[in-house]
């Protein structure tokens, strides 16, 4: 973090459930590390701080009542207060809904099945966030892993009910996952909900380090075996083609992949 600040980086993004993979023993550790750093460096005002509240999940260790997570008023307020304590700050610049409370296709999943009533209404969630903004605990709010439909609903209720306006959306975006371009990019331009792009290297696959079955010691795939979403035959062919382009033009594959993301006009920040 010291090095990041020295290089001009001033936006830090975390979440209440980090570190990943999520488990009770490490939950909140990332926020705690950042909070200790703030306390030691006394530089909270130098950083735009973003964190997230979990959507609906069976993670029972995040809440005091031992239930799974959901975006109810009580749970969001509890999550904000706990994040503030771990981060050792009295405000969060950008508070994000980590994934929607309603069932959707997350993280590349297909086969959508609608489940009526299995979520808190978006208007209710927005009213909760409005109260927290007014309390001064958060300054702005954003979305993450959200759909175009969900984004527009948040914008609609903000406009019609005088509630806080969504400022950003944090979705995966890279050379082999350009889903955001189908609907999100137009919203980013027309409604000013800029993309905070995560996974610009496709979880490391666009670096080439996993090609031909390679499994580097200490890599996330070797440690956690969680990266299968980028292992389809068509994705592998696309990665091979991009790596060939990088070699042809004498480019570092990682830098090429990052520059593709950073130079898109709808991207606010590449994280």
CATH of the domain at 119: 3.20.20.100
Please provide the DSSP assignment of 51-113 as one string: EEE--SBS-TTSSTT-PPB---HHHHHHHHHHHHHHHT-S-EEEEEESS-SS----TT-----
Supply angle C-alpha 239, 240, 243, rounded to 5.
Answer: 85
Residue 268: Cβ within 10 Å count: 18
How would you write the pLDDT of the chain (271 residues) with one tens digit per residue? 999 999 999 999 999 999 999 999 999 999 999 999 999 999 999 999 999 999 999 999 999 999 999 999 999 999 999 999 999 999 999 999 999 999 888 877 777 888 887 899 999 999 999 999 999 999 999 999 999 999 999 999 999 999 999 999 999 999 999 999 999 999 999 999 999 999 999 999 999 999 988 999 999 888 887 777 888 899 999 999 999 999 999 999 999 999 999 999 999 999 9
Query: Would 86 be classed as within a structural domain?
Result: yes
Q: How many domains does the chain contain in total?
A: 1
Marked catalytic residue, from 3, 18, 173, 242: 18
Query: Would 31 be classed as within a structural domain?
Result: yes
Query: Would 245 be classed as within a structural domain?
Result: no
Between CA 134 and CA 124 the distance in angstroms is 16
Query: Would 263 be classed as within a structural domain?
Result: no
Query: Would 264 be classed as within a structural domain?
Result: no
Strands ordered across the beta sheet of 168-170: 11-13, 48-53, 92-97, 138-144, 168-170, 194-197, 267-270
Token pair of 218 as six digits: 């200490």
Between CA 80 and CA 234 the distance in angstroms is 41
Coil, strand or helix at 150? helix
Residue 18 appears among annotated catalytic residues: yes
User: For residue 140, what pLDDT is reported?
Assistant: 99
- Separation of first and last alpha carbons in the chain: 14
Query: Would 270 be classed as within a structural domain?
Result: no
Query: Would 143 be classed as within a structural domain?
Result: yes
Residue 92's contacts (CB-CB under 8 Å, 6 or more residues apart) are: 49, 50, 51, 80, 83, 84, 137, 138, 139
Query: Would 106 be classed as within a structural domain?
Result: yes
User: What is the enclosing helix (H) or strand (E) of 233?
Assistant: helix 233-248
User: For residue 110, what pLDDT is reported?
Assistant: 76
Domain that holds residue 114: 2-170
Coil, strand or helix at 11? strand
Of 154, 148, 161, 156, the closest CA to residue 189 belongs to 148
How many helices (H) and strands (E) in the chain? 9, 7
User: Which class for 229: exposed (0-12), middle (13-18), buried (19 or more C-beta within 10 A)?
Assistant: middle
């Amino acid at each position: 973090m010291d090095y990041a600040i020295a290089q001009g980086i001033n936006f830090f993004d975390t979440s209440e459930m980090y570190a990943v993979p999520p488990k009770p023993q490490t939950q909140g550790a990332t926020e705690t590390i950042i909070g200790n750093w703030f306390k030691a460096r006394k530089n909270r005002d130098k950083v735009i701080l973003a964190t997230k509240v979990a959507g609906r999940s069976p993670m029972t260790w995040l809440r005091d009542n031992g239930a799974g997570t959901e975006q109810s008023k009580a749970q969001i307020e509890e999550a904000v207060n706990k994040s503030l304590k771990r981060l050792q700050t009295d405000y969060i610049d950008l508070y994000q809904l980590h994934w929607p409370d309603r069932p959707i296709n997350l993280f590349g999943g297909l086969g959508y099945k609608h489940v009526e009533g299995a979520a808190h209404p978006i208007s209710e969630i927005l009213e909760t966030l409005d109260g927290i903004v007014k309390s001064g605990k958060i300054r702005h709010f954003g979305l993450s892993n959200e759909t175009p439909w969900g984004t527009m609903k948040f914008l609609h209720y903000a406009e019609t009910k005088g509630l806080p306006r969504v400022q950003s959306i944090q979705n995966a975006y890279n050379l082999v996952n350009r889903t955001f371009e189908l609907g999100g990019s137009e919203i980013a331009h027309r409604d000013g909900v800029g993309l905070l792009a995560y996974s610009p290297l496709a979880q490391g696959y666009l670096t080439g380090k996993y090609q031909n079955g390679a499994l580097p010691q200490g890599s996330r795939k070797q440690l956690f075996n969680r990266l299968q979403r980028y292992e389809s035959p068509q994705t592998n062919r696309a990665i091979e083609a991009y790596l060939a382009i990088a070699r042809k033009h004498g480019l570092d594959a990682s830098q090429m992949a990052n520059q593709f993301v950073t130079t898109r006009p709808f991207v606010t920040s590449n994280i």
